[in-house]
Amino acid sequence: MRLLFVLLMHTLTLTNACWFYSRESSVQKIKDLLEKNHISEISKTDIRGITSSLPAPIQWAINTVGVSAIFEDCDANGDNTLTVYEIEHTETCLASCVKMGILNTAIRV
């Protein structure tokens, strides 16, 4: 199952179009999550907690592959937390459909 998920995510990287998600809707999901939890930033630990109810293979893929890549591209100041400002103003953040897919799977608000 893990292999299937990873293969699907890699296949999506070969396409230039993102049919399922938009950067704007992904950012809005993050805003909604932060507002719902009355917090101003989200950490890797927070994402791992959020994904804990997902099936184990999906948790593994998100936490092993996706979270690190998202933080690498989005955490502009390197403090291991993401703010809405960083996500909206970091050019490389959520620039690929795969990362938006991972984030949207992880954060099911």
CATH number at residue 16: 1.10.238.10
Q: The domain containing residue 23 runs over which residues?
A: 2-106
Task: Tell me the whole-structure pTM to 2 decimals.
Answer: 0.71
Structure token digits, residue 64:
């092993």
The continuous run of DSSP H or E covering 43 comes out as: strand 41-43
* pLDDT band per the 50, 70, 90 thresholds, residue 14: very low
Gap between the Cα atoms of 75 and 59, Å rounded? 21
Per-residue pLDDT tens over the stretch 72-96? 999 999 999 999 999 999 988 888 8
Q: How many domains does the chain have?
A: 1
Per-residue pLDDT tens over the stretch 25-67? 888 988 998 899 899 999 988 888 888 888 888 888 888 878 8
